[in-house]
Structure 1
Amino acid sequence: MKKAYNILFVTLQIIIMCAFFFPISLLKFRLPEAFNYGAYALFILGMLCVVIALYQLRHQLSPFPSPHKNSSLIDFGIFRYSRHPIYFGILLLFLSLSILFQEVYKLVLTAVLYLFFCWKSTFEENLLMARFPEYKNYRKKTPRF
């Protein structure tokens, strides 16, 4: 059952993220040029979060929410500020691109991705709490995203 959920989560994530880049322009919005600078800053921050988290995870990295058999709990570095810094970074990237493209469709998909990451991370955290007894305390003191 866990394997089916792993495949489901990865498949849905790929679909949502690929749909973001479909050339659909349903509704455009206009923002002042100054918002682009904020979007670039969000993009850089998102990239930093993803890269730092990937580096810290290294051999424990997996697209699946289930932890590796030989994994350990990482609660230091960027994981001290977010339990899911890769999801957080991806959300910042998608939000920044939504602002830069100025398309409602992309903003809606970013919101869908946020809800999806909430669902996926809830599943993942249940597995982490079962594997690591100390995860419950970590979860209390560290925000999800």
Structure 2
Amino acid sequence: MKKAYNILLVTLQIIIMCAFFFPMSLLKFRLPEAFNYGAYTLFVLGVLCVLIALYQLRHQLSPFPSPRKNSKLINSGIFRYSRHPIYFGILLSYLSLSILFEDVYKLVLTAVLYLFFCWKSTFEENLLMERFPKYKIYRKKTPRF
């Protein structure tokens, strides 16, 4: 059951993330050009969060929410600031692209992705609490995203 749920979550994530890039638009909006500078900054920060987290995870990385067999709890580095820095970085990047494309469709999908990451991370954290008793303490001290 866990394996099927893992596959379902990863499949849904891929669908949502790919739908963002469909050539579709609900409604365009205009922002002052100064917002573009902030959006570029958010994009770079998002990508950096993802890259730093990927580097810290290295051999423990898995596309699935279930922790790998020989994994260890990481609560230092970027994980000191966010329990899910990869999700956080993806959300920052998608938000910035939504602003740059000035598209409500992309903003809505970013919100859907946020809700999805909340759901997926709740499942993941339940597994992490089973595996690592110290995760409950870490969870209380560190924000989700």
Q: Secondary structure at the match of 1:125?
A: helix
Q: 2:48 aligns to what?
A: 48
Q: 1:63 aligns to what?
A: 63
| 1-structure distance, mates of 2:100, 2:20 | 13
Q: 2:108 aligns to what?
A: 108
Deviation at 1:58, TM superposition (A): 0.1
The answer for unaligned runs of 5 or more in structure 1 is none
The answer for unaligned runs of 5 or more in structure 2 is none
Deviation at 1:80, TM superposition (A): 0.2
Q: Secondary structure at the match of 1:66?
A: coil
Q: 1:20 aligns to what?
A: 20
| 2-structure distance, mates of 1:20, 1:41 | 20
Q: 2:87 aligns to what?
A: 87
Q: 2:78 aligns to what?
A: 78
The amino acid of 1:16's aligned partner reads I
Q: 1:10 aligns to what?
A: 10
Q: 1:96 aligns to what?
A: 96
- Note the aligned Cα RMSD (angstroms): 0.3
Q: Secondary structure at the match of 2:47?
A: helix
| 2-structure distance, mates of 1:52, 1:118 | 21
- Normalising by structure 2, report the TM-score: 1.00
Aligned: 1:126 with 2:126: yes
Q: In the TM superposition, what whole-angstrom CA distance separates every residue of 1:23-47 from its partner, at most 9, and x where no partner exists?
A: 0022000000000000000000001
- Normalising by structure 1, report the TM-score: 1.00
| 2-structure distance, mates of 1:68, 1:26 | 40
| 1-structure distance, mates of 2:126, 2:62 | 17
Q: Secondary structure at the match of 1:107?
A: helix
| 2-structure distance, mates of 1:6, 1:84 | 17
